[in-house]
């Protein structure tokens, strides 16, 4: 054993146990801090990447206007996730490689069902094969994955909910059967509607028609739109049947929108609980301060009393 190693071992043996424990504690704190920092950075990067993918998807899905796509059996979602943007009736173009694809198929009433199915199969295979070989969307579709966490609420859902903050907006919202709103509370009816509708993907946009402003609810996931104020608004039923916000989690059978809504309401409940806890602590501190003050005065009073001689 070298002299340096011997000296090191000797110094460790001579170090008090409390000092060793303190060094261990500091090392553990440093490791925890590093792990938390790396985890936080990774989460932020993943969130940013997902947000960018979702932003691209939203822009693509909005290109599929009703007049161009009504009656087409291929859903806009199938095409948008592979980078295809609608350019006209049954005509799409890749955002990256700029290739075109025709999605036209014969009417099912005009041909044999076997012919129709063969045509549909051909179109669906070309959604991938029509890209050039090096196109990113050929091998990496826009499969954005929402981590329904604070980053997602901050970057996506809360900005969507803020579009409801307009005093002139009137919504007659049909609430899903399994959603229960508590009576009273400090939230207005509109804020509850904003919370629910934004969880279901709906944001409010202002459109001018014939010189008048109209409020239109638009889904970020399927681009379905609904002009408010004319009829009752059903934020659950008005989606396209292929809308991603209705996708059900294979593990627990819970749809995406409900996961978002639960997270939104859970965060709000945590904030209320946190505020309540802080108030309780402050109240307890005031009681303790008063008690200590009384005890101090009593001790001073007792100390000032003359000592009786025996």
223: left (phi over 0), alpha (psi -120 to 50) or beta: left
Convert 56-92 to b/e letters by CB count within 10 Å (16 or more is b): bbbebbbbbeeebbeebebbbbbbbbbbbbbeeebeb
Contact 43, 151 (CB under 8 A): yes
Predicted local distance difference test score (pLDDT) of residue 278: 47
The residues near 294 (Cβ < 8 Å, ≥ 6 apart) are none
Write out the H or E segment, with its range, that includes residue 91.
strand 91-94
**What pLDDT is attached to residue 37?**
52
Report the predicted TM-score, pTM, of the whole model to 2 decimal places. Answer: 0.68
pLDDT for res 306: 57
Q: What is the pLDDT of residue 42?
A: 65
* CATH 1.10.1170.10 domain span(s) along the chain: 18-143
Question: At 204, is the secondary structure helix, strand, or coil?
Answer: strand
Q: Which CATH architecture has domain 18-143?
A: Orthogonal Bundle (1.10)
Please report the pLDDT score of residue 170 as a whole number: 83
- Which tokens is 189 given? 């009816």
pLDDT tens for the chain, 310 residues: list them: 555 555 544 554 556 777 767 776 766 666 666 555 555 556 677 778 888 899 999 999 999 998 888 778 899 999 999 999 999 999 999 999 999 999 998 888 889 999 999 999 999 999 999 999 999 999 999 987 777 888 889 999 999 999 998 878 888 899 998 887 765 544 544 478 899 999 999 999 998 888 888 899 999 999 999 998 888 999 999 999 999 999 998 888 899 999 999 998 885 554 444 444 445 545 555 555 565 555 555 555 555 555 555 4
């Amino acid at each position: 054993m070298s002299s340096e190693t011997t000296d090191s071992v000797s110094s460790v043996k001579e170090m008090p146990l409390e000092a060793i424990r303190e060094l261990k504690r500091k090392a553990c704190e440093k490791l925890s801090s590093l792990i938390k920092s790396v985890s936080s950075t990774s989460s932020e990067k993943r969130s940013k990447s997902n947000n960018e993918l979702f932003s691209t998807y939203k822009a693509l899905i909005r290109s599929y206007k009703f007049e161009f796509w009504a009656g087409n059996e291929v859903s806009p979602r199938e095409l948008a996730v592979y980078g295809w943007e609608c350019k006209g009736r049954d005509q799409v173009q890749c955002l990256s490689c700029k290739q075109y694809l025709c999605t036209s198929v014969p009417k099912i009433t005009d041909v044999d069902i076997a012919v129709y199915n063969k045509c549909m199969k051909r179109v669906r295979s070309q959604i991938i094969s029509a890209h050039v070989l090096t196109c990113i969307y050929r091998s990496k579709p826009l499969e954005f994955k929402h981590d329904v966490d604070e980053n997602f609420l901050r970057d996506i859902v809360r900005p969507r909910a803020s579009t409801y903050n307009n005093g002139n907006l009137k919504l007659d919202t049909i609430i899903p059967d399994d959603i229960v709103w508590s009576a009273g509370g400090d939230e207005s009816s509109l804020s509850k509607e904003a919370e629910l509708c934004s969880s279901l993907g709906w944001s409010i946009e202002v459109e001018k028609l014939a010189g008048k402003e109209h409020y239109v609810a638009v889904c970020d996931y399927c681009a379905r739109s609904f002009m408010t104020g004319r009829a009752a608004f059903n934020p659950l039923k008005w989606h396209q049947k292929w809308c991603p916000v209705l996708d059900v989690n294979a593990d627990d059978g819970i749809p995406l929108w409900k996961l978002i809504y639960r997270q939104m309401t859970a965060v709000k409940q945590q904030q209320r609980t946190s505020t309540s806890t802080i108030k309780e602590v402050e109240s307890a501190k005031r009681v303790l301060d008063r008690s200590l003050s009384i005890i101090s005065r009593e001790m001073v009073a007792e100390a000032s009393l003359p000592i009786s001689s025996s």
